[in-house]
Chains A and B, each alone.
Chain A
């Protein structure tokens, strides 16, 4: 086996994992699988692309690469603003769509359908604005550095891995150590009791959208940096995201990232041993396997 599989798998897996964290939080706290979550990834990437172009145009030198990476501080700034914009987008979709169903106490499956419709609209809107031609943050080419053990990675890839690790630790600490996280766990177990405990449930829901969208944007920027930016980039990630969230156990942040890494490694293995064209089937195979063997997931509590 080519050890490079490990690096490829970890990189693909960290993007899936970051996206899956948002998905799993929405799933456990708002209690529906959000088919429009992939769109947050794509919109996040496009926000960052437009902003970084804008910043580059206004401030010369913002696009100049910070060695050894391929991108300049303009993209870093653009990503931070894009995270905010993606969060606003998620809040807006919630305000015009999901919140209304919540107020009506609609059954979950109606909300799932609505998220399905929203994903179509949001994705096609991206295609309308940016066309389906792929976009890139940077045209710089990077040389992969040897890491030992026959593995190589570009500085950008290592940066993505490090950033993922940082974000995961941040979210995990937020959830386990802070009052906000405690309130989120409470709403996830029982929203109506949370209100009686004094938790402002609407505020918790807003926090979940902001957090999920910001992480999705980060995943989108990474994917755009390492691969490319396309309107379908989020939709194509959706099945791996679901597989990772269910594999990790819905509601579990460590589960989502571990699930993401497993799916990513599985995809890398499939590319090496079966053929790159079958890569997209790995997530489905993992999904079916976990539903057969352990539907509550690796870190899930009994439903």
Chain B
């Protein structure tokens, strides 16, 4: 049992009881009370230890939020909505929004209407930290893109954590029919605060979403989060995920197809060094026919870092003509590093095309020979090939500014890693 969870429950019970959000918290809290703290035998937490938070005191003191350093992405013209220490520090009323975009604070009355049937409904209940987030949530934003509106300017939700206090944030996005949007979830932190950040996306018929999630928590940071998507008829999701590692960093992604002919392309990358941990788990629910999933996950793990990937694709009995591909490739740079990867395909329909693969590899001899034969040194060739492995996914990013920023960010990080 966890002392921390006990105190979370106590803390949740003491939150204000007024407003629609309080009712939601109350319902989730009831569920949370029946949940057990995961042990090493709990499949979802098998390779990631929760010991860094088990005996933790949940601190709620709010520190100074005036000095938030918002991470800059050069050349990216985006609308920033900033959370610091679980407080929404952006004045929503002063944010200049494109036509057809509405943004509300989660606890406002306006948010309630949009939250109906979406909030806590898209995120599966099995996520323990999701329930914790539900039970404690006070600060969040709700974004709505009106029917047919194509918003090119990205909207970025920045979540910077510092200090030692627990903090929680929440996002709910609905993209109405035939609309499109670009949403970036950008999380960073180094201190030992415990942060949970969950988001739900409702993508209506023929709508499309370009989504990014940067889980850049490092050093002592403790983080558990999730992005959860519901896709209606002929909708499209393109999601790019980047994870660094810290003492505890866990990200869950869920996609549920509720309408036919919907597609999701998910590209996830992680680059871990030193003693970092990153745990990425995805679950794709093909509940209806004619949907397509293409998920590519690439990781590089060095030093004594530990990566865990669990990718589940569940094709329900009626989901005929599903096309699903899941591929996880890893490079292990050191003897001390650890990679646990598990693709899980569960198929109950008979007319589907599915492929999955997971590899933990070293560099291909032919490629190395080719570079050496042109005079490039062995160490440089290894760096190029190792990095090329991830660069492949970076090259698929639509947004040029993000593509360049990420290339630079990963190159810098990679340069610090030791290549054998």
Are A and B interaction partners?
no
